[in-house]
């Protein structure tokens, strides 16, 4: 449903942001890392850019979720009705 896709997008984007940021970080000149973990990424992102940054790209990702969900539902119905 549309609501499920919306909620899935709203929850997964900040998690994906934290994961991607941690994976892409490089050591600072002194050898330390800027972020200590996922929560640290989220807190520093909000402090630096504001809370809306956690959902940057929401509309594109949400559209992708709906397209995928609709396609799965159509193929599921076609497969089920042929039995």
Phi, psi of 63 (to 5 degrees): -60, -40
Dihedral over Cα of 15, 17, 20, 21: its sign: negative
pLDDT, average across residues 7-35:
93
Residue 15's pLDDT is what?
Answer: 94
pLDDT, average across residues 39-57:
94
Residue 72's pLDDT is what?
Answer: 64
pLDDT, average across residues 65-79:
64
Structure confidence at residue 80 as a pLDDT band (50, 70, 90) = low
Residue 6's pLDDT is what?
Answer: 79
Cα-based distances in Å from 71 to 15, 17, 36, 57, 67: 25, 26, 39, 22, 6
Say which residue, 65 or 13, is predicted with more confidence. Answer: 13
Q: How far apart, in whole angstroms, are the C-alpha atoms of residue 9 and residue 3?
A: 10
């Amino acid at each position: 449903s549309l609501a499920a896709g919306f909620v899935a997008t709203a929850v997964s984007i900040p998690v994906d942001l934290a994961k991607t940021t941690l994976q892409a970080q490089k050591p600072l000149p002194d050898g330390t890392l800027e972020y200590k973990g996922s929560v640290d990424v989220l807190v520093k992102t909000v402090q630096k850019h504001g809370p809306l940054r956690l959902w940057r790209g929401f509309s594109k990702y949400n559209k992708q979720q709906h397209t995928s969900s609709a396609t799965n539902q159509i193929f599921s119905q076609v497969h089920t009705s042929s039995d």
